Amino acid sequence: MKRRETNDEHFLQTPVDDAFRHTDPWRVMRIQSEFVRGFDSLAKVPAAVTIFGSARTLPEDPLYKAAVETAKVLGDVGFAIITGGGPGIMCAANQGARQSGTQSIGLNIELPFEQHVNPYCDSSVEFRYFFVRKTMLVKYSQAFVIFPGGYGTLDELMESLTLIQTGKIHNFPVVLYGTQYWRGLLEWLADTVLKHGNISAQDLDLMHLTDSVEEVRDIIVAAVHGQSDRPEREAASVQQTARYYANRPTES
């Protein structure tokens, strides 16, 4: 069975027939309409936290349960919850939002295989283009919580860090949940990327690392309400990460 081509794929494909090169400018109108629809749909969203993570995480996984609880405790202190609207961690976060009674929002993406909006979204917007969807995820969020995931999750993590690092968005909390899962990435950033001079030491402080649902909440509440001012007053999870690097055993 032939895979259905997505709008993103069609848009990014280099035209081989010169006649089709002239259709790309008109596609901008469709992209513009998608931005307008997204902005209009999300204009009244209150302070929100976006939760990312794998679409493959099953309900019996402890990470699924942690995502439910994370969204619930964030909802209990007044944050709306935004996700990609799909299954796995996204579904778990919307489920937790529903349990807390806060606004539960899903921003779904058209894929070659069908991805339906999970049943815990109170409202949803479907997007054809990844870059439009990612704009909405960033624009309407006060913080990101990143659960373990694959390429899509890593893409969202790295884009958020790049936007903060380059001053395109303000420095809001980016919280990595799952020390064991993310440790290898942080080691690589510290031991390889930093060592080669491709990032600065302070760039490692753009991420918080924790295994505690309550700490996720406390980091975000402190940042949003101006109770933390990094780097002068680093959050506890950042200090924990720094201690981990300092105390990490060296290879013999």
pLDDT string in tens for the chain (252-residue length): 555 666 656 656 665 555 555 667 778 888 999 999 999 999 999 899 999 999 999 999 999 999 999 999 999 999 999 999 999 999 999 999 999 999 999 999 887 765 689 999 999 999 989 999 999 999 999 999 999 999 999 999 999 999 988 888 887 899 999 999 999 999 999 999 999 989 888 899 999 999 999 999 999 999 988 755 544 433 443 454 455 556 665 654
Q: Is the domain covering 7-247 a CATH 2.20.25.570 domain?
A: no
Could you give the C-alpha distances from 248 to 1, 6, 19, 113, 206, in angstroms and in order? 50, 45, 59, 43, 20
Could you give the C-alpha distances from 168 to 36, 142, 186, 219, in angstroms and in order? 21, 14, 23, 22
The tokens for 222 are 């402190």
> To which H or E segment does residue 138 belong?
helix 130-139
Domain ranges (residues) in the chain: 7-247
Q: pTM surpassing 0.95?
A: no
The tokens for 246 are 């300092």
Contact residues for 215 (Cβ-Cβ < 8 A; gap 6+) = 236, 237
